Structures are given as structure tokens and as C-alpha cells.
Amino acid sequence: MTPDYSFEAAARAQGYLRIAGVDEVGRGPLAGPVTAAAVVLDPARIPEGLNDSKKLTKRRREALYEQILALADVSVAHASVEEIDAHNILRASHIAMVRAIQGLATPPDYVLIDGNMIPRGLSLPAETIVKGDARSVSISAASIMAKIRRDCVMLSLAQQHPGYGWDTNMGYGSKSHMSALQNLGVTPHHRRSFRPIHNILWQE
């Protein structure tokens, strides 16, 4: 499966001109925000090699990140750990998506969303695409932008809280991260509503 412009072309055939692809990253980690990106590509200047960020090497992601920034309208937004704990991770990811869409320099008139749910609060015409980051180039671009920007957040947090390995595990529950939680405790950046963190706090 290789992403293409067919979903965007179908929307343009219906008269829509600014089609945003939206994706999020960071639903699974035990720490850090959930991050979403919205990208409106110029159909005449689509970077080559766009794909699901998970299928790209770090070097290739970074190269595409720079191209997307230069050629597209991009907005990246986060939902905080506090919002994740207050709502739930799904709702928080949708909050981040809506923020990303609202942050575009020029509002889109149609939105392609990775997954199978349209975020609550989105008033624009929208379409969900399961595995959209591997099917739509706009969503692929959004997955790359969200991945790199969230990684940057986790690299910064890793410097503030050494020992948890966030510079490599990005907040996911790796063996070293779980060991650090037992030895160093829970930080303000951990998601207290997630079971492993909740269980540690309950034991204290």
C-alpha cells in the first residue's frame, strides 16, 4: 500500500480546494503529550516519498519534514498530560487534531482524518480514512510532522528528567522506562490515568 492523492482528488472533484490531512501520534506512551498535525499540500508540489512516518527511516522523515514545511501549510498542536488525564486519550487526541486544524494559516474547506472517528467540535466537512497515513499523501505528511514535533518535545523532557530514556523510547513503556519508574518514581509528565502509572501511584 502506497499513499497517493486519490482521496484529495475526489474531494477536489466535489469542489473543495483546500484539503487538510490530519493525523496524531503519541496515544500509547506513558508520558508526554499527544500531538496532532494538519497539512494542506499544494497539489503541484507534493514531496516525493511521503508515507506513514513509522515506515520511514529517521533520516528520511527529517528530510521530508523540511520539504513539507517549505511546500505546504502546516499546523501542529498538542493536548497535555493534564488534558489526557482529565478526558481520556481518545478525546485528548481529538482535541489536538481540532487545534491543529484551527492553527492552519488559511482554514481548509475539507478534512481527511486518519482513523474512523471525526473529532467532536470539528464543524468542517470531513472524511475518515482507516490507515490513512498509508493511503493519503496529506495524512502521510501530517503523520511525519506530528511524529517529529512530538519527538522534539520528548527529547527536551528527557534532558529535564534524565534516567527514563525518553530520548529513545519517546515515553513508551519500554523495559528501561518501567525500571526507571520503579527506581525514580513518577514525574509530572507521566499520564496518571494510564494503568501502569496509576498502579505505581496506588502502591505508594
Residues flagged as binding site = 23-24, 114
Long-range pairs of 170-176 with CB within 8 A, sequence gap ≥ 24: 170/26, 170/29, 170/32, 171/26, 171/29, 171/30, 171/31, 171/32, 172/28, 172/29, 172/30, 173/29, 173/30
DSSP assignment of 46-96 equals PPTT---GGGS-HHHHHHHHHHHHHHSEEEEEEE-HHHHHHS-HHHHHHHH
C-beta separation of 181 from 189 below 8 A: no
Residue list, annotated binding site for a divalent metal cation: 23-24, 114
